Chains A and B, each alone.
Chain A
Amino acid sequence: MYSQGLIGADGATEETEEFLAKFQARIDREEKIEPNDAMPNGYRKTLVRQIGQHAHSEIVGMLPEGNWITRAPSLRRKAALLAKVQDEGGHGLYLYSAAETLGVTREQMTEELLSGKAKYSSIFNYPTPTWADIGTIGWLVDGAAIMNQIPLCRCSYGPYARAMIRVCKEESFHQRQGYEILISLCNGTEEQKQMAQDSINRWWWPSLMMFGPHDAESSHSEQSMKWKIKRFSNDELRQKFIDATVPQAEYLGLTVPDPELKWNPEKNGGKGGYDHGEIDWDEFWRVVKGHGKMNRDRIKDRKKAWDDGAWVREAALAHAEKRAARQTQHAAE
């Protein structure tokens, strides 16, 4: 899953012109920046925020899909869903590790998530009331994530770029398993088809929102593009996603819930593409600001897991200390 990169990111730098010019020259030569390299403070802060948001999105993203593990309709689907949700947790772990190379700890990041200071992708603030949502999340949400993440494999920051290579391979598998769930529904009974259509009706627009605000509204995008943290603009990626996804919906026999959606042969420099309706930006900002259907529940669930698990983490530490003390004592004897 994906973090809605850079909402509220502060890329301000204080370094000298000469330092910044040398750093930019490295970026322009497509050199990878590594953890021990000198980097502008703004670059570091932007990455910490973006990778942190991304990691949190993976972790919070386990909840809406985890909601269906015990109720999956077949053992095959149950096993695939378990493996998928586990993958998302694994992505969270890589990404926290990548962020830690920038001098922030996983605990700090977790505290920021639980206090509401750190953001995660708004898409996870929508509920998964039906089984079809498990298919739709794989197809649309992971599909949008891939569109966002493939360019991140070439991100200028080495640890992030390398983590994204593995993440993208797994996301691609998730996207296909989601689509396969929907193929089963769309080849099924009338109830199953309705379940699939209802699901795309609810997830289409939030999926488009995953690419973030319009380029003109995305205030920190320009600096991130210059630093090659970001390679394509929000609107470019959104258009690519729509163009790739609409034919997939047609194959399923599902209707994309956008009456203004129309093929335009002139678009994309004559290659053709879809014109589409406007996103409800009021809804976008409402959910980003914490007023979506599931915002409070998601944080409450994460907080409960963290608080309920405190005694376990404390015991593990206490036990490790006891063992170390016993070993020291043993060695002294």
Chain B
Amino acid sequence: MSAPLFNALLELADDHLILGHRVSEWCGHAPLLEEDLAMPNMALDMIGAARSLYTYAGEIEGEGRDEDQLAYLRYDRDYKNCLLVERPNEDFAHTMLKQLYFAAFMHPYWEAALQSSDETVRGIAGKSVKEVAYHIRHAGEWVVRLGDGTEESAQRMQAAVTELHPYVEELFHMSADAQAAADTGALPDREAMRTQWTNTISNVFDQAKLTMPEVEYPQLGGRTGHHGEEMGHLLSDLQYMQRAYPNMSW
């Protein structure tokens, strides 16, 4: 077993599962019917990527854990997602911005992963890179509409930027496991995505008339399992069936 690659894959898988979970919370409650169709689509992409990543992580671990055991049956401190993805949906401005921030990171990440030394990672990257390009477009267009829409929408959009920007730094942060996986060429170096991320966001923000804040104190800790309070509630929902009815097939 390759422990660093296993852990680094879990970081990625947890990011996708938890953000997919948040997006899925909108299903049936969106501001317009077209978004009631678009958001489950994005959630499906995220959960689909999580499934592939968990399955592969389980194979690498070699202890017989499948996607569901990894997704559902760990304690809160064992989830390694970055803090950005677990943030509550708040409103549509927060939700779209969070999606944009994450997708703007994952697009260059998956593009780089197309050159991975690991065949399975290359396969997952090939599928995900196309999906995430669409997420940038969809979320980016909404950020522009809301940023340059009405007075209220512009205020809400800028408030979302202020609220979520401190969580951006963690996207580029390399855990020891991520570093080890990058050293072998299996997964890309997160730090290398910074320029492309900034270009994507600057381009959207220019059109949206939003300003990018300086962050003095970034929020870190997700990769070591130091989550916020909301994470426990998310896991209560996510894990409910598996915890209440253990060891059953569904």
Whether a CB of chain A sits under 8 angstroms from the CB of B245 is yes
A319 CA to B147 CA in the complex, in Å? 9
A312 CA to B39 CA in the complex, in Å? 15
Are B145 and A316 interface neighbours, CB within 8 A? Answer: yes
Are A73 and B250 interface neighbours, CB within 8 A? Answer: yes
Knowing A311-B152, A312-B146, A315-B153 are in contact, say whether A70-B24 is a contact too (CB < 8 A). Answer: yes
Whether a CB of chain B sits under 8 angstroms from the CB of A86 is yes
Are A82 and B31 interface neighbours, CB within 8 A? Answer: no
Task: Using CB atoms, name the residue of chain B closest to A308.
Answer: B31
- Contacting residues of chain A (50-92) with chain B, CB-CB under 8 angstroms: 59, 62-63, 66, 69-79, 82-83, 85-86, 89-90, 92
Q: B4-12, B76-84, B216-224, B233-241: which lies at the A interface?
A: B233-241
Minimum distance in angstroms from B205 CB to a CB of chain A:
15
Are B153 and A78 interface neighbours, CB within 8 A? Answer: no
Q: Inside 8 A of A160's CB, which chain B residues have their CB?
A: none
Task: Using CB atoms, name the residue of chain A closest to B38.
Answer: A86
Whether a CB of chain A sits under 8 angstroms from the CB of B166 is no
Whether a CB of chain B sits under 8 angstroms from the CB of A192 is yes
Grouping DSSP codes into helix (H, G, I), strand (E, B) and loop, the B interface class, with mixed when no group exceeds half, is helix
Are B238 and A71 interface neighbours, CB within 8 A? Answer: yes
A45 CA to B35 CA in the complex, in Å? 29
A284 CA to B56 CA in the complex, in Å? 51
Q: A183-191, A227-235, A241-249, A273-281: which lies at the B interface?
A: A183-191
Are A82 and B40 interface neighbours, CB within 8 A? Answer: yes
Are A311 and B241 interface neighbours, CB within 8 A? Answer: no
Whether a CB of chain B sits under 8 angstroms from the CB of A120 is no
Q: Inside 8 A of B32's CB, which chain A residues have their CB?
A: 309, 312-313
A72 CA to B148 CA in the complex, in Å? 38
* Chain A CB within 10 Å, residue with most, of B27, B68, B91: B27
Are A74 and B153 interface neighbours, CB within 8 A? Answer: no
Whether a CB of chain A sits under 8 angstroms from the CB of B172 is no
Q: Inside 8 A of A192's CB, which chain B residues have their CB?
A: 245, 248
Are B51 and A83 interface neighbours, CB within 8 A? Answer: no
A85 CA to B21 CA in the complex, in Å? 15
Q: B41-49, B121-129, B132-140, B176-184: which lies at the A interface?
A: B41-49
Are B28 and A63 interface neighbours, CB within 8 A? Answer: yes
Q: Inside 8 A of B240's CB, which chain A residues have their CB?
A: 71
**6 CB < 8 A contacts A-B:** A85-B28, A86-B41, A90-B37, A93-B34, A305-B31, A316-B145
